[in-house]
Amino acid sequence: MTLGTNVRSAARDACVPLPGRLVYTIAIGLPLLGFFFLFLHLTRPRPLGLLSPAPLRLIRARSAREVDTFYRSIRYRWPPRGIVPAVALTRLPRGLGALAVHRKKALFLRMILPMVLAADDALAKQRNFLLTTYALPTPPPPGSRRERTLRTIEHAYGLHGSPWSAPVRRHLLRRVDVVPVSLALAQAAKESGWGTSYFARRGNDLFGMWTYEAEHGLPPRSLLAPTHYVRRFHDLESSIVHYMEAINTRPAFRRFRRLRAHLRAEHRPLAARVLVAGLERYSQQGEAYVTAIRAVLLSLDARIRRVRLSLVSLHALADIAAARRRAPLLPDPGTSALPVIALERQTTVPFFARRLGLLRPGAGGELAHN
C-alpha cells in the first residue's frame, strides 16, 4: 500500500511540467535570497551618522514678494542678527529681477544663506570626525563603524591608500574643510547675477559650473555650436553641494586649499578676503575675477559674522516676531503669520551625501566654468 502510494506520488511529480517547477523554485528561492541580502545589509558596518546637517524646512513660493513677506513674518532680515531660520527653497522664485536693486540683493542673500550654513555644517562635522579619529592613540579596528566612515570620506574626496599614512592624512585634512560663508555668497551673487541669470533661473546653477555633457547642462546662449554646457541642477541645494565639492577636490583650486591649510596651521580665522586669492582659476578673467569678488566681500564680511542656523520652529519664530511687534500671538494655524508659503515636510537636506556614497553621484565631466 505504501509502496504503491509512493509510486503514484513520484509519477505525479514527474508529470509536473518544467515551467511549473521553475515557478515553484522561484517562489521559494526569491524570498530566501531576499532575507539573506537583508541580513547582510543589516549586519554590515555602517558609516557614523555624522553627515546629517542641520534640518532645513523646505518652502515653496510663487513669487519673490511672497518669500519676502514670509521672511518678514519671522523677522528674518538682512543683515541677519545672529540667528538664521533653517529654511530652504528648491528654486529661485519669479519676480526677483523686478524688485529694487537693494531689495533684490537682500532677498537673494537671505534665500541662499541658510543652505550655505547647512552645507558648511556638514563639512565641519566631517572635519571634526577626522580630527577626533586622528587624535586616537591607535587606528580604529578594521571593519568598525569609525574605520568604515574614515574610508568612505577618503574615497569620496578622491584619495586612496592608507588613511593613516602622512600624505593621505595631510591631503584629507586640506580637502575636508569649510568654505567661508561670505565667500560662497559673494560668488553666488556674481555668478548668478544676484539670482536673475538665465542659468540660475532655468538650471538652478548659482555658481556657473560647466559640464561637457549636454544632458546635464544648458547650452550657452551666445554659442551656436557649444563646446561646453552650463551645469543644470535639480534644486538650489545641489548647486551649493557641487560648488563646495569642486572647491575642495579639483586641482584648479589647490592654491585655495593650501591657503586655507596655512591659516589653520597658524590658528587664524578663515578670512574670505585672504582665501579668494586662491580662486584665480575659477574664471577665465583670472585676477580680475578675484578683484570683483573682493569688491562684493567688502559689503558682506562685516554683516554675517557669528551667524548660525536656528533650531526653533518657524511658527515659534512667527510668534516671537508677533510678540516683539506687540501683536497677539498666533491663536491657531488658520491665522498663522505664514500665509503665503507652502511649508513642506521638515527634512534633513542630504548635503554631501552623494560624495560619501549615500546617494549616487551625478555624471562626471564637469569643470569649473568661465
**pLDDT score of 200:** 84
Cell of 81: 542678527
Residue 24 C-beta-side C-alpha neighbours within 13 Å:
7
pLDDT tens sequence for the chain (370 residues): 454 555 455 555 555 566 666 666 777 767 777 666 665 544 444 444 444 456 778 888 889 999 998 888 888 888 887 778 888 888 899 999 899 999 999 999 999 999 999 888 889 889 999 999 999 999 999 888 889 889 989 988 888 888 899 999 999 999 999 999 999 999 999 999 999 988 888 888 899 875 655 555 556 665 555 666 677 788 898 899 889 989 999 999 999 999 999 999 999 999 999 999 999 999 888 899 999 999 999 888 767 766 777 655 566 666 555 555 544 333 333 334 443 455 454 444 444 544 454 333 333 333 333 3
CA distance 293 to 186: 6
Cell digits for 335? 491665522
In sequence order, which residues have a C-beta less than 8 Å from that of residue 145 and are 6 or more positions away? Answer: 45, 46, 47, 48
Q: Which pLDDT value is given to residue 321?
A: 58
CATH code for 56-367? Answer: 1.10.530.10
CA neighbor of 56 nearest in space, from 345, 370, 360? 345
pLDDT for residue 33:
72
> For residue 276, what pLDDT is reported?
95
Peptide bond into 180 cis (omega under 30): no
How far apart CA 346 and CA 314 sit, in angstroms, is 11
Round to whole Å and give the CA distance between 28 and 179: 54
Please state whether beta strands 217-218 and 229-231 pair in parallel, antiparallel, or not at all (unpaired).
Answer: antiparallel
Q: Given this model, what pLDDT does residue 102 score?
A: 92
pLDDT for the residue 275: 96
Residue 320 has what pLDDT? 57
Query: What is the pairing mode between strands 308-310 and 229-231?
Result: unpaired
What was the pLDDT predicted at 227?
Answer: 60
pLDDT at 16: 53
* Residues linked to residue 58 through DSSP beta bridges, in sequence order: 88
Query: Domain spans of the chain?
Result: 2-43, 56-367
290-342: pLDDT as tens digits: 999 999 998 887 677 667 776 555 666 665 555 555 443 333 333 344 434 55
Q: Which residues contact 356 (CB under 8 A, 6 or more apart)?
A: 47, 51, 152, 153, 156
Cβ-proximal residues to 83 (8 Å cutoff; 6+ apart), any chain: 307, 308, 309, 310, 312
Chain segment 90-109, per-residue pLDDT in tens: 889 999 989 999 999 999 99
**Short-list 14, 94, 13, CA closest to 61:** 94
Whole-prediction pTM value?
Answer: 0.74
Question: Would you call 26 helix, strand, or coil by DSSP?
Answer: helix
State the DSSP H helix or E strand holding residue 47, giving kind and residue range, or none if neither.
none
Closest CA to 178 of 268, 266, 118, 102: 118
Let me know the angle formed at the C-alpha of 153 by 90 and 148, rounded to the nearest 5 degrees.
120
Are 329 and 322 contacting, i.e. CB atoms less than 8 angstroms apart? Answer: yes
DSSP string, 158-184: T--S-TTSHHHHHHHHHHS----HHHH
Q: Is 96 helix (H, G, I), strand (E, B) or coil?
A: helix
Cell numbers 574626496 label which residue?
157
